[in-house]
Amino acid sequence: MTPLLKKAAFAALSSPPIYGHLQKRALKSDPLTILCYHTLGPDADDMDAWTVLRVSDFQRQVAALRRTYDIVSLDDALDPERRGERPQAVLTFDDGDTGLFTHLLPIVEADALPVLIYVATRQIETGQPFWFDRVMNALQTSGARINLRDTGLGEWAVPDTTGADKWEVISGILEALKTVAPDERDAVADRIVAQAPDRGAAPTPLVPVSRDQLAELAANPNVGIGAHSHCHSLLDQIPLDAARESVAMSKALLEGWTGQNIRHFAYPNGNYTPELGAMIADLGFESATVLDSALASRNGDPFALSRLAIGRYDSLQRFRLRLVGL
């Protein structure tokens, strides 16, 4: 479909009678809408990272959701006794970036907004961002040529100008990195960082929350903390016992840091297998979420709950269409 045709189709689908019908159809069997975000950043920053939503975009999405949904905690959503009249939505945030403390916490406090933050613990322990955040920080630069030919990942030209086109290239590099052997990925990421000409270009670099910031987030009654593994490896790419160790470590660390029982888990990158699901259940979690751009079934497998991933380049119109499965 041409961009113009796509725009016209989206506009038609967003018109009140048609959208109302799509919404009714999508919500008919009482699914649960679980949204996956990563972090928030200042409106004025030209940060080309799908994971960084502008604060005002997030607030517009929350306002749009509240017209139809009750935004609730995952615990409330999974408890049949706490089911309300209106559809329910749950807001989740992966990884544990410092923007959650700086920008999300004030919104949570002002609006009594329930959120669930899935924290990958190694970056909190070391204070060093994971490979994907290091690459995103480094490539916020005025153009770069990244040569990864000797690793079989080709050559990449990061454009000068900010915007979705630049993100396309950065995202391509990140996806290519996911195909590298897990124990080599950090070294390839470091080579990309070394080839970026202006490494300090990120207006607000992605960095993990500090332990103090995490404690402050966890102390808010509307903030739930879940685990997201220690290493953030794609768990289906490493041996099951190593995956188990990483998840158990993140649970133990988070329980020590927050004084809370950590009962919810999100698979890094959404990578799920039934073996991983069984392992998560065995470690004492009550739920786990994937990333499959679908609405979750409340009666389905609690260790493979669907989520819709929302990013910086989703317009409000696109956001509303994602909610109804388009």
- Shortest separation between residue 132's beta carbon and Zn ion, angstroms: 8
Per-residue DSSP letter, 171: H
Show the binding pattern over residues 35-74: x = contacts Zn ion (CB under 5 A), - = does not: ----------------------------------------
**Can you tell me the distance from the alpha carbon of 5 to that of 3, in angstroms, rounded to the nearest whole number?**
6
Kindly state the tokens that stand for 146: 């990244």
**Can you tell me the distance from the alpha carbon of 9 to that of 6, in angstroms, rounded to the nearest whole number?**
5
Q: How many residues bind Zn ion (CB under 5 A)?
A: 3
**Nearest alpha-carbon partner for 129 in 183, 208, 47:** 208
- Shortest separation between residue 121's beta carbon and Zn ion, angstroms: 12
Q: Where are the beta strands (DSSP E) in 21-165?
A: 33-37, 39-41, 52-54, 70-71, 88-95, 115-119, 144-148, 154-158
CA of residue 211 relative to chain centroid, distance: 20
Nearer Cβ to Zn ion (19/58): 58
Nearer Cβ to Zn ion (137/141): 137
Nearer Cβ to Zn ion (57/95): 95
**Nearest alpha-carbon partner for 165 in 175, 157, 176:** 157
**Can you tell me the distance from the alpha carbon of 173 to that of 16, in angstroms, rounded to the nearest whole number?**
39
- Shortest separation between residue 269's beta carbon and Zn ion, angstroms: 6
Q: Which residues of 178-203 are buried (b: 16+ CB within 10 A; e: fewer)?
A: eebeeeebeebbeebbebbeebebbe
Tokens 């188990």 locate to 244
Give the number of other Cβ atoms within 10 Å of residue 241's Cβ: 9
Nearer Cβ to Zn ion (19/50): 50
- Shortest separation between residue 174's beta carbon and Zn ion, angstroms: 12
Q: Which stretch binds Zn ion (CB under 5 A): 60-68, 88-96, 100-108, 144-152?
A: 88-96
Q: Binding residue for Zn ion (CB under 5 A) from 48, 94, 97, 314?
A: 94
The CB-nearest residue to Zn ion is 94
Q: Which stretch binds Zn ion (CB under 5 A): 13-21, 131-139, 268-276, 305-313?
A: 268-276
Q: Which stretch binds Zn ion (CB under 5 A): 94-102, 154-162, 176-184, 282-290?
A: 94-102
97 in contact with Zn ion (CB under 5 A): no
Q: Which stretch binds Zn ion (CB under 5 A): 46-54, 68-76, 86-94, 164-172?
A: 86-94
Q: Binding residue for Zn ion (CB under 5 A) from 48, 57, 95, 133?
A: 95
The residues that touch Zn ion, with contacts defined as CB under 5 A, are 94-95, 268
